[in-house]
């Protein structure tokens, strides 16, 4: 258990297990087997057991895993036993969609501030917060102790925004701008590239005879 290296794939699957466990809990199931979890996500039961065994021995042989207990353990592993302070840069349609999505708040991610560089947007309300001038980004991150930054700006401004975030102490960035950010290695970066997803689909439709491995 708790080896030195954990793959990004394992982390993503843990997120899925976490959701499935919520479903099982809502359905009143007290225990689940690795097979129950596996079939919900299209994996093998061995995969599920391997993933979990990296963090401990949570199951009972012959019985499976206690739903509430495993759920709590995964929450702990993923760092969901607390709330995270998030800021968003870019108050356009995409930014607004992210801001309004209740799922983030429900899972412990609080939008403490929203920034934009458009004077027509600055000062506007977005739920409980007011859109601020992006010039104040660094100061607000420091003052509020913001830990995660979300970038939903055009590509042109994204690197500068990211640099400001990092300078202010942010160590985790979720980037929706269509470019490859260059960041120091201590900063965790995840990119959401919607055009690349569409292009993957275009490839699949164009090359139906080709086997595409791993989805």
80 binds, among a copy of itself, DNA, none (CB under 5 to 8 A by kind): a copy of itself
105 binds, among DNA, a copy of itself, none (CB under 5 to 8 A by kind): none
In the complex, the residues that contact a copy of itself under the rule CB under 8 A are 4-9, 11-12, 14-16, 18-19, 40-42, 77-80, 84, 86, 92-94, 96-98, 100-101, 103-104, 107-109, 147-148, 171-174, 178, 180, 188-190, 192-207, 210-215
Q: How many residues form the binding site for DNA (CB under 7 A)?
A: 30
Burial zone of 202 (CB within 10 Å; 0-12 exposed, 13-18 middle, 19+ buried):
exposed
Options 14, 21, 24, 52; binder of DNA; rule CB under 7 A: 52
139-144's contacts with Cβ under 8 Å and 24+ in sequence apart are 139/168, 140/87, 140/112, 140/113, 140/115, 141/87, 141/165, 141/168, 141/169, 141/170, 142/168, 142/169, 144/85, 144/87, 144/112, 144/113
> End-to-end CA distance of the chain, in Å?
27
Q: Is 58 in the site for DNA (CB under 7 A)?
A: yes
Q: Give residues in contact with DNA (CB under 7 A).
A: 1, 5, 7-10, 32-35, 43-47, 49-50, 52-53, 57-65, 213-214
């Amino acid at each position: 258990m708790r080896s030195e290296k954990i793959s990004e794939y394992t982390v993503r699957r843990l997120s899925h297990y976490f959701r499935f466990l919520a479903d099982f809990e809502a359905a009143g199931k007290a225990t689940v087997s690795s097979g129950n979890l596996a079939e919900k996500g299209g994996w093998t039961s061995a995969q599920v057991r391997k993933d979990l065994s990296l963090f401990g021995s949570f199951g009972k042989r012959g019985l499976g895993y206690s739903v509430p207990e495993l759920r709590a353990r995964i929450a702990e592993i993923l760092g969901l036993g607390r709330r995270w302070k998030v800021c968003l840069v870019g108050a356009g349609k995409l930014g607004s969609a992210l801001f309004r999505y209740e799922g983030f708040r429900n899972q412990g991610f609080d939008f403490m501030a929203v920034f934009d560089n458009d004077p027509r947007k600055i000062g506007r309300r977005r739920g409980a917060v007011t859109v601020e001038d992006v010039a104040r980004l660094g100061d607000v991150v420091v003052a509020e102790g913001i830990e995660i930054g979300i970038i939903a700006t055009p590509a042109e401004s994204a690197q500068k925004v990211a640099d400001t975030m990092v300078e202010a102490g942010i160590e985790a960035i979720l980037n929706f701008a269509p470019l490859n950010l260059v960041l120091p290695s201590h900063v965790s970066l995840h990119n959401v590239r919607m055009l690349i997803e569409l292009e993957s689909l275009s490839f699949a439709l164009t090359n139906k005879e080709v086997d595409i491995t791993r989805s």
